[in-house]
Structures are given as structure tokens and as C-alpha cells.
Amino acid sequence: MAPSSAPPGTRIGTSPAPGRRDRSLLATRRFSAGSLIATFSNPLLALPDGPSMRTTCNYCLRVGGSSSLRACTACKAAVYCDATCQRAHWKTGVHKAECKMFARIRSTTGKDWLPTPVRAVAQVLLLLKTQDPAMITAFVDRQKGLEGNVDEFRKNAQDVWADYELQAMAAVVYAGLLQSKEVLNTAKEVLCRIQTNAFNRLDADTGTAGIFLDAVLAMINHSCVPNAFVGFDRRTAMLRAERNIEIGEEIEISYVDYTIPKAARQETLKLYHFQCACPRCRDNLDVYQVCKTLSTIALNRFSLQPNLSKLRDPPIDRSRISNSEVEMIYNKWHSLQATADYTKDALKIASLRWKLCKPLVDASMWAVEPLPSSILELASLCQTDDAKFAYALPLACLLATECEPVKLVAPFLPWRVKGVMMIAKLLGRIGELTATGEFAEVCPHKGLVKILSRSDQVSMCEAMLRLVVHYASMGASEDWDVLKEARELLQDIESLKGREKESYFLRTWAKDPQDPEGCEFFEVAVLKPVNELAALAVEIMDAELGDKQSLVRR
């Protein structure tokens, strides 16, 4: 029996994968790539991470900073946008259950937040005490409840289990419950169920995280070649099709970043206690090999990499590097600890990482991690330097043309949309300096200045914004900040006088990327300079991160 009813177009049933008998979410109608399968706004758990419960609305999960949010007057720990959010949280029963707990913790220890898993378990335990039926079904019912892999955790992951015992004990103590063996066991089982089924609700725009657990979303199994993905907009989770999904097909998402090497994926998947048998794992395929099997390749006709034959038959030299060498580079890259600040230290790490990536560069395997991460790392560092911020443009162009379309084949995936938006914003910032004639003076790279001076930067920017607007509305909610900002910027550009012809061509291309006139304009005015810029990227990476580093904070 299902723990909750599945939304229209789906049903919960036994996994159709050979040899499996666990539950899964199945499609009962066809979903096309990029379409919304269902939204989930009534989660069992939705909470901000640890200390961010002081800067994020504890109901709607809007990140607000402490001044724009009001604290509950009773516990002074949970903060809310306004009385409406506060009342709504009370109505769910969650804050009603935990308010006294936070007041007690504050008065006895002075603390006003708890580590995320401890708070989550305490919430569940307190709600179980009130006989909350949804919590009882999800966390206690052995048959209808959530999978917890409790025995596997206990037997096969003893270090994790030891950690869980401590966290469970803390939750019981903070919740003010009797520390009996039974209660402690329940707390550990609850923690296992949360670990197995909750989403890490990472908000890439604000860098804050939290957890989100919904009983139907928890029925979705994993694949490293998923056909669906989950995005978040405050308290709502959106399940979207990443590829076309046919009637009867199992809906699968990826529990991990599927673009990282197999050993790294399997390490993370250990927490879920199964062996992934997807094609990417079975045949240890790299991102290029998976890319050519996906029908979503065709959507790239409307993208910064419209050359589909290049995506199907990439000019890479796989003989130069083996899978095990890639894994070794990946592990070494991640063992170098990066700092987020623009400091000599951050540059030193970026430089060591870039050098590690050289064999991937030599093989032209731009899309294989950790090479894209190294390029993005320098792009982010450059953007904090007034003189060299424009260096981020060639790097962003390389990412958008050579890396992302192979890694994340569907152009509506939020990371791809954000990559195109980064180009639009850099062009906007450069455009302001170009208009006053300052750009040529402040930018030290003459090749970059030359390409930009002969390019129609406004048309390039308009094309980026049209791509963002088109794909952001497919891959995310209408409320997504990136989409709202792109729409505003596009309006500004459209209102510029004297660009009617260019705007007409770009509108035509956006309506039909095969239209000969629009397509030719896009190729000459946008794609050509984007590719010229991308071609500068390696030279910039070498100059900035080679042995003689010049990108040092003044």
C-alpha cells in the first residue's frame, strides 16, 4: 500500500526493474522533456539548515536575513516572513510541537538553533507524540512507511550508525522525551528514514540549504541517467521530466551529481544501500558516451551548441586518458581544499587544480569533471576582480559551448540556464564600460578587447536572454529570480532605439531556430564571437593559473 496518493499522471507501484520488489513512481501518461510532472507543497518535513533557521522563514523557506524576518515571540528561535507564515507553520502542527522545545533550549543553554538532523528527528518525535497520522504512517508503519534501510545502516555502516546514535540521543534529550531504549530506537529509525528519503534542498542562488521530505517524492528511485529531476521554490518541490517519459515507465531521479566519476557516485550512493545498475554505472560510461544516447540532444538546436553532430561525434581523444586516471584526478582535485575568498590561497588552489586537469585538456574532454569545475572556479574568482572580471566571459563561453551541453544535455536544466545568464550579465557589465570607452583601458587582455570591439554585444546579450527566458520557464518556476531578471533585462534591450532589425532577427530565431534568416543572424552575430571568446579560455587559464600567476589581489 502506498503511504500517500500519487498525483495525476503517476502511480505508486512495484519497481519494474529486473530482480527488484521495492516501490517506485510510475508514469500513467506521457510527459515530454521539460514538462512539469507534479508539484508537492505539503511535505512531511521542510526545514532550513541549522543556523539558517534564524535567517530563513521557517515556514515558506524564503531567505530573508534576520532584519526582514520576525521571530516567534514565545521561543524567539524560529523566524517568519510575517504573521501569515507564522500562523501557517503553527497550523501544520510543527511549530506548535517544537516551540516549547526551543524556549527550553534557549533558557537552559542560550542556543537558538539545532543541527538540521537533530531538529528534524525532534520534530518527528514530537509530532508522533501528538498522534499525527501522517507521521505515524511515514515513520512508524513498517509496511506502508518510508524505507529506512535500518538494518543495513546498523550492520554495514558502523561509523555512520555511531553518528546516528549520537544525533538520535540529542534529539530525544532536546525534545524533552524519556530516554528509554524504545524511544531511542524510534529516534534512530526516524533518522535512517530521513537520510534515505529527504532531499537536500540546496538553494544554489543563496547558498543556503535545508531538507524537504515528501511521502510521494520518497517513492522515486535513483538512476544516474534519470528521466526526471526535482527543483524547489520555497516550500514547493517541482518534479519535472528531464527526458520524454512514456506511459508505464518508471520515473527516476538522480540522488547524486550524475556527472562525476563512477567511484565518486558510488561512494555517495553507499548511504542508500543499493548497487546502481543504470547504463552509466553498468558500462562505466563517461558524459560523452551518455550524451550521444539521449534524445534531448535535439533540443540543443536552440542553444549555444547547435551543432548536433559535434555532440553526437565529439572531437575528443579518449586514448589519452583512462577512466581510472580521470578518477584519480577527480579525487586529487577534491582533496585540495578551496577557499571561497579571492585570496592568494584561493588562487594557489585553483592553480593546482587547473594543472591536475591538463590531461583532460590535452584530450579535449572539456565536459569531463573536474575540468568544468576548474573553469567555473576561475570564472568565479575573476568576477571579484574589477580589472579582470571580463576574463570570466571567455571561460563562461567555453563552459556553455563545450562543457555543459555534454554534461547536462537538456538545455532547460537550471545549471545550464544559469551558465547562459552568467554570459548575459558579463556582457551587460562589459557593455557599460564599452559605452563610456573605458573597457579597452581597463581590460588587460588585448585579444579579448579586440573580439568584443568588433562584436555586436547588445545582440549577443539579447540572444542569451532569449535562451534564458525560453528554458527557465521550462526548467523552473515562474518565480525563479533568474527568469524574472532575464525578463526585465530583455525588456530594457527591446526598448533600445535603432536596433529594430537585430531584434527582429533574434525574435525570429527564438521562434524558429531553423528559420534561415534568423539562424544566419544568430550564427554570425552571436555564435561566431561566442566561439572566438571560448577559444581564448585556455590561454587565460594558463596565464592566470600557470606557474606565473598574475591574478593576484592588489
Ligand X SMILES: C[S@@+](CC[C@H](N)C(=O)[O-])C[C@H]1O[C@@H](n2cnc3c(N)ncnc32)[C@H](O)[C@@H]1O
For position 272 contacting ligand X by CB under 6 A, the verdict is: yes
* Closer residue to ligand X, CB minimum distance, 147 or 165: 147
Smallest gap from residue 28 Cβ to ligand X (A) = 18
User: What HEC string does 149-175 produce?
Assistant: CHHHHHHHCHHHHHHHHHHHHHHHHHC
Q: Which of 196, 227, 236, 300 binds ligand X (CB under 6 A)?
A: 196
Q: Which residues of 219-256 are buried (b: 16+ CB within 10 A; e: fewer)?
A: bbbbbbbbbbbbbbbbbbbbbbbbbebeeebbbbbbbb
Query: What span, in angstroms and rounded, lies between the C-alpha atoms of 114 and 102?
Result: 9
**Binding segment for ligand X among 20-28, 109-117, 421-429, 544-552 (CB under 6 A)?**
20-28
* Closer residue to ligand X, CB minimum distance, 218 or 406: 218
Binding to ligand X in span 105-134, by CB under 6 A: none
Q: Which of 96, 100, 154, 273 binds ligand X (CB under 6 A)?
A: 273
Smallest gap from residue 266 Cβ to ligand X (A) = 12
H or E stretch at 535: helix 528-535
Smallest gap from residue 223 Cβ to ligand X (A) = 6
**Binding segment for ligand X among 19-27, 118-126, 507-515, 516-524 (CB under 6 A)?**
19-27
* Closer residue to ligand X, CB minimum distance, 31 or 153: 153
By rule CB under 6 A, what count of residues binds ligand X? 17
* Closer residue to ligand X, CB minimum distance, 272 or 415: 272
Query: What span, in angstroms and rounded, lies between the C-alpha atoms of 315 and 305?
Result: 14
**Binding segment for ligand X among 15-23, 87-95, 184-192, 439-447 (CB under 6 A)?**
15-23
- Residue 501's alpha-carbon distances to 13, 294, 353, 492, 518, in angstroms, are 55, 36, 45, 16, 11
Q: Are 242 and 226 in contact (CB under 8 A)?
A: yes
Query: What span, in angstroms and rounded, lies between the C-alpha atoms of 28 and 84?
Result: 37
For position 23 contacting ligand X by CB under 6 A, the verdict is: yes
**Cell numbers placing 64:** 530573508
Smallest gap from residue 274 Cβ to ligand X (A) = 4
Smallest gap from residue 506 Cβ to ligand X (A) = 43
Binding to ligand X in span 453-482, by CB under 6 A: none
Query: What span, in angstroms and rounded, lies between the C-alpha atoms of 455 and 527?
Result: 11
For position 197 contacting ligand X by CB under 6 A, the verdict is: yes
**Binding segment for ligand X among 17-25, 87-95, 305-313, 326-334 (CB under 6 A)?**
17-25
Smallest gap from residue 285 Cβ to ligand X (A) = 16
For position 22 contacting ligand X by CB under 6 A, the verdict is: yes
Binding to ligand X in span 215-234, by CB under 6 A: 218-219, 221-223
For position 147 contacting ligand X by CB under 6 A, the verdict is: yes
Query: What span, in angstroms and rounded, lies between the C-alpha atoms of 42 and 318?
Result: 47
Smallest gap from residue 195 Cβ to ligand X (A) = 9
For the chain, the first-to-last Cα distance in angstroms comes to 64
* Closer residue to ligand X, CB minimum distance, 145 or 372: 145
* Closer residue to ligand X, CB minimum distance, 141 or 325: 141
Cell 545502516 locates to: 153
Query: What span, in angstroms and rounded, lies between the C-alpha atoms of 126 and 187?
Result: 11
Query: What span, in angstroms and rounded, lies between the C-alpha atoms of 198 and 86?
Result: 23
* Closer residue to ligand X, CB minimum distance, 175 or 192: 192
Pattern of binders to ligand X over 51-70, x per CB under 6 A? --------------------
Smallest gap from residue 12 Cβ to ligand X (A) = 9
DSSP output for 117-149: HHHHHHHHHHHHHTT-HHHHHHHT-TTTS----
* Closer residue to ligand X, CB minimum distance, 26 or 47: 26
**Cell numbers placing 5:** 496518493
Smallest gap from residue 258 Cβ to ligand X (A) = 12
Smallest gap from residue 272 Cβ to ligand X (A) = 4
**Cell numbers placing 36:** 512539469
In 3D space, the residue among 200, 194, 229, 244 whose CA is nearest the CA of residue 215 turns out to be 194
Query: What span, in angstroms and rounded, lies between the C-alpha atoms of 543 and 399?
Result: 18
* Closer residue to ligand X, CB minimum distance, 20 or 100: 20
For position 276 contacting ligand X by CB under 6 A, the verdict is: yes
**Cell numbers placing 227:** 528521466
**Cell numbers placing 225:** 541517467
433 Cα distance to chain centroid: 32
* Closer residue to ligand X, CB minimum distance, 24 or 123: 24
* Closer residue to ligand X, CB minimum distance, 279 or 428: 279
Per the document, the length of the chain is: 554
Residues 390, 393, 396, 402, CA torsion sign:
negative
Cell 501544520 locates to: 92
Binding to ligand X in span 296-315, by CB under 6 A: none
Identity of residue 292: K
- Which residue ranges make up the site for ligand X (CB under 6 A)? 20, 22-24, 147, 149, 196-197, 218-219, 221-223, 272-274, 276
